[in-house]
């Protein structure tokens, strides 16, 4: 598997991974084909995931600026076509409580608003533009995997109410069983009334269609293999021609190769997350688990498992995976996910899975997403969403478009206008990751 800490780039015209999403998304939308000659553009966007497609759409539609997307493979080939499809009020890994401690109440309140706008922007685009992406009813469960975690859920509920005036529902184990599912492991849950499941690749292709309909060009199979600046222009070399751009948006996120731009050197940490999708549950299994909920679900582990029942009664479950791309195909990672599911639902001992895949989530050192514009204004990026980019990437794309157009009123928040911090001791990131996995595992599984 492509390893963004080691490989030269994410490939060239590679097929989408063999995922449940790719299998059920239908035909890929029409695009502008590979770059086939040298060209000059106002804004070149490297990367055709949610960030790049949203930036292209908002640039053309709202800012009247020419935008061209350069995607190494097909749109949604990276995280945007591989994720769990949890559209949440979230951005990055920083907890709301940490955010208040770090930035104070007022700024945290504004960031809460910005992140909420991300969720509402996605909801609005799906609704107003009629994106067909199997949107599920709202509901997001945070399930206590140990009795002691109910105290954490209670505290989170109190905190969200007093700090942000945001109401949640605390469910006992019995209420969870009656209203959602019967799980051997669940001790209760905190339920957020917003957040919903989607088909992530259909959603990415929905943005693709919107961006092209608005007038953006999307060149697939067009990896940027080198990038230099000459006479005030950026020259992006692709196999089919050189793209000369006044402004470049780097929307490569967890798939950013080390040599792409010095602006990002040692500022992102790609971490693998794996997903399996089971065969459809039988009527008996549905009855035994009482699984009636279409909510998106995560447990309270730091190394959390995220799961949801899909519209065709399969279960998708994801979680941490290998440390390196080389170890990604090791079957133990997917078996861990299956075993975790069986621990949660003892009635599913015969369950098998039909699909498996993984993708690179981009972590930032301070656990927050960052949107940044270089001093001369001609290079921008947005990334570091952790496992929570389905909504914030789209918000970031709109903010990137505003920055390109010089409309930066209201961009003062750290998540909207600051560079990703460098990782200290960057060459040892993976050693640290391994040590943290052991530590978190021991802490998570403690009774
Ligand atoms: C397994 C998994 C599950 C996840 N689940 C969720 C979830 O349920 N909810 C949630 O909110 N978030 C989730 N995430 C994270 C979320 O998917 C991402 O944050 C989001 O999709 C990032 O979008 P993006 O456009 O920034 O990056 P990506 O979608 O990764 O797009 C980057 C693109 O850049 C292209 N690229 C890279 N280098 C070059 C180059 N040199 N030239 C041209 N193109 C290039 C790549 O091919 C890729 O298509 C998950 C991630 C993974 C991996």
DSSP string for 214-265 = HT-EEE-S----EEEEETTEEEEEETTEEEEEEEEEE--GGG--TTS-GGGT
Residue whose tokens read 């060149």:
219
Tokens, residue 292: 């009636």
339 Cβ contact partners less than 8 Å away, ≥ 6 residues apart: none
Which atom of ligand 1 is found nearest the CA of 81? 29
pLDDT at 228 over 90: yes
81 lines ligand 1 (CB under 6 A): no
59 lines ligand 1 (CB under 6 A): no
pLDDT value of residue 387: 87
Rounded alpha-carbon distances, angstroms, from residue 325 to 161, 197, 266, 367, 380: 41, 28, 18, 22, 27
Tokens, residue 174: 């019995």
Which atom of ligand 1 is found nearest the CA of 11? 47
Which atom of ligand 1 is found nearest the CA of 225? 41
Gap between the Cα atoms of 399 and 401, Å rounded: 5
197 lines ligand 1 (CB under 6 A): no
91 lines ligand 1 (CB under 6 A): no
pLDDT tens-place string over residues 162-200:
999 999 999 999 999 999 999 999 999 999 999 999 999
**Sign of the alpha-carbon torsion through 169, 171, 175, 180:** positive
- From atom 11 of ligand 1, which residue's Cα is the shortest distance away? 388
Mean pLDDT of the chain: 97
pLDDT at 128 over 90: yes
84 lines ligand 1 (CB under 6 A): yes
- From atom 48 of ligand 1, which residue's Cα is the shortest distance away? 78
* Cβ atoms 254, 270 nearer than 8 A: yes
The mean per-residue pLDDT over the stretch 318-330 comes to 93
387 lines ligand 1 (CB under 6 A): yes
Compute the distance from residue 119 Cα to the ligand 1 centre, in Å: 17
pLDDT tens-place string over residues 375-385:
999 999 999 99
The pLDDT-based confidence of 1 (bands split at 50, 70, 90) is: confident
What's the distance, Cα to Cα, between the start and end of the chain in Å? 36
The pLDDT-based confidence of 127 (bands split at 50, 70, 90) is: very high
Q: Provide the 3-class DSSP secondary structure of residue 359.
A: strand
pLDDT tens-place string over residues 400-424:
999 999 999 999 999 999 999 999 9
The number of helices, as runs of H, and strands, as runs of E, in the chain is 10, 18
Tokens, residue 282: 């039988």
Compute the distance from residue 255 Cα to the ligand 1 centre, in Å: 7
A 10 A CB-CB count for 204 gives 34
Tokens, residue 43: 């804004």
**Sign of the alpha-carbon torsion through 251, 256, 262, 267:** positive
- From atom 16 of ligand 1, which residue's Cα is the shortest distance away? 389
325 lines ligand 1 (CB under 6 A): no
Gap between the Cα atoms of 436 and 442, Å rounded: 10
The mean per-residue pLDDT over the stretch 79-101 comes to 95
Gap between the Cα atoms of 380 and 400, Å rounded: 7
188 lines ligand 1 (CB under 6 A): no
pLDDT at 428 over 90: yes
**Sign of the alpha-carbon torsion through 282, 284, 285, 291:** positive
277 lines ligand 1 (CB under 6 A): no
DSSP, residue by residue, 126-189: HHHHT--S-PPPS-EEEE-SSTTHHHHHHHHHHHHHHHH----EEEEHHHHHHHT---SS--EE
């Amino acid at each position: 598997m492509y390893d963004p800490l080691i490989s030269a780039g994410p490939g060239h015209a590679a097929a989408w991974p063999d995922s449940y999403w790719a299998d059920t998304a239908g035909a890929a939308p029409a695009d502008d084909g590979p770059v086939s000659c040298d060209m000059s553009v106002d804004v070149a966007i490297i990367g055709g995931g949610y960030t790049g497609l949203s930036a292209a759409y908002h640039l053309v539609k709202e800012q009247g600026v020419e935008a061209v997307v350069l995607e190494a493979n097909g749109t949604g080939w990276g995280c945007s076509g591989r994720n769990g499809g949890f559209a949440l009020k979230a951005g990055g890994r920083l907890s709301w409580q940490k955010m208040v401690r770090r930035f104070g109440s007022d700024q945290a309140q504004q960031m809460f608003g910005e992140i909420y706008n991300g969720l509402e922007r996605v909801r609005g685009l799906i609704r107003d533009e009629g994106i067909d992406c199997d949107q599920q009813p709202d509901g997001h469960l945070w399930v206590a995997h140990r009795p002691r975690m109910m105290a954490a859920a209670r505290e989170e509920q109190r905190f969200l109410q007093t700090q942000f005036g945001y109401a949640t529902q605390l469910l006992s184990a019995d209420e969870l069983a009656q209203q959602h599912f019967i799980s051997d492991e669940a001790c209760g849950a905190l339920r957020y009334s917003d957040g919903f499941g989607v088909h992530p690749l259909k959603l990415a292709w929905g943005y693709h269609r919107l961006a092209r309909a608005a007038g953006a060009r999307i060149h697939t199979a067009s990896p940027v293999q080198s990038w230099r600046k000459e006479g005030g222009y950026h020259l992006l070399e692709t196999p089919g021609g050189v793209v000369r751009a006044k402004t470049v948006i780097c929307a490569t996120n967890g798939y950013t190769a080390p040599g792409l731009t010095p602006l990002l050197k040692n500022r992102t940490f790609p971490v693998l997350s794996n997903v399996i999708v089971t065969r459809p549950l039988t009527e008996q299994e549905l009855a035994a688990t009482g699984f009636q909920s279409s909510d998106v679900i995560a447990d309270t582990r730091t190394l959390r498992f995220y799961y949801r029942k899909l519209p065709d009664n399969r279960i998708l479950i994801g979680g941490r995976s290998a440390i390196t791309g080389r170890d990604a195909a090791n079957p133990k990672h997917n078996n861990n996910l299956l075993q975790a599911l069986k621990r949660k639902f003892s009635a599913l001992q015969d369950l098998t899975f039909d699909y498996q895949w993984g993708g690179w989530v981009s972590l930032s050192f301070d656990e927050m997403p960052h949107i940044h514009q270089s001093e001369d204004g001609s290079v921008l990026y947005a990334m570091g969403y952790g496992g929570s980019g389905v909504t914030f990437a789209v918000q970031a794309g709109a903010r990137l478009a505003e920055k390109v157009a010089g409309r930066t009123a209201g961009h003062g928040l750290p998540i909207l206008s600051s560079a990703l911090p460098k990782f200290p001791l960057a060459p040892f990131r993976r050693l640290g990751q391994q040590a943290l996995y052991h530590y978190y595992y021991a802490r998570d599984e403690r009774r």
